[in-house]
């Protein structure tokens, strides 16, 4: 994957030229350890989705060999063409590490087109590059734009372009956010989200 890091520091509006699609709780499909109730790993209070998981938890399906997760999979807007965007404000408490907090599912060489992870206080694209340092215990805004035809992905943090790279192919994609353990994950993982939007290029 070819990666280019933007040096732009000025905030922009990455949603310009996009239109938000309707979203409701019915579009939010919770993936959680299969042996616990939803309210043991998820809450939605005052517009904030809070998701947490433990490294010792079961996978989301019995028999799955995947690592523990508590994630929301956005349904109703799977896509295979066009230019799509995910927007949300995220908060990750200190201690959460080796955890994916957002991903675009669908890829050829791996299961995803992009994965945003947390490693010891830094937000990264997969293992590198770092796109936000000192990110614990504060809200920050994430915009991820995926141009399927151009095989291009851009990530904006608080309106500034922080990453641009190639997509990973395949014909079906969708957005996910929450916490999904990666190799070396902390015992406890948590992320909080608000202001979730899915947008499509006009």
Report whether CATH 2.60.120.200 matches the domain 3-201: yes
* Domain extents in the chain: 3-201
Each residue's pLDDT tens digit, 25-68: 999 999 999 999 999 999 999 999 999 999 999 999 999 999 99
Each residue's pLDDT tens digit, 84-135: 999 999 999 999 999 999 999 998 778 899 999 999 999 999 999 999 999 9
The pLDDT, as a whole number, for residue 10 is 66
Report the greatest alpha carbon distance in the chain.
47
Distance CA 152, CA 17 (A): 17
What percent of the chain stands above pLDDT 70? 95
DSSP state of 136: B
Within a 13 Å sphere around the CA of 112, how many CA atoms are in the beta-carbon half?
16
């Amino acid at each position: 994957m070819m990666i280019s890091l933007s040096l732009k520091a000025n905030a922009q509006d990455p949603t310009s030229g996009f239109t938000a699609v309707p979203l409701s709780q019915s579009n939010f499909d919770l993936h959680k350890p299969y042996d616990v109730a939803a309210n043991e790993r998820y809450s939605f209070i005052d517009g904030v989705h809070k998701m947490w998981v433990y490294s010792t938890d079961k996978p989301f399906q019995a028999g799955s060999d995947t690592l523990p997760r508590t994630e929301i999979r956005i349904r109703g807007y799977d896509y295979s063409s066009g230019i799509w965007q995910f927007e949300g404000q995220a908060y990750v408490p200190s201690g959460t590490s080796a955890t994916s907090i957002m991903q675009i599912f669908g890829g050829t060489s791996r299961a995803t087109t992009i994965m945003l992870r947390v490693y010891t206080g830094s937000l990264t694209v997969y293992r590198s590059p770092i796109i936000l340092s000192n990110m614990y215990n504060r809200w920050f805004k994430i915009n991820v734009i995926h141009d399927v035809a151009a095989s291009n992905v851009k990530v904006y943090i608080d309106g500034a372009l922080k990453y641009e790279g190639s997509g990973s192919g395949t014909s079906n994609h969708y957005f996910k956010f929450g916490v999904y353990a990666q190799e070396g994950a902390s015992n406890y993982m948590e992320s909080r989200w608000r202001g979730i939007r899915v947008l499509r290029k006009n």
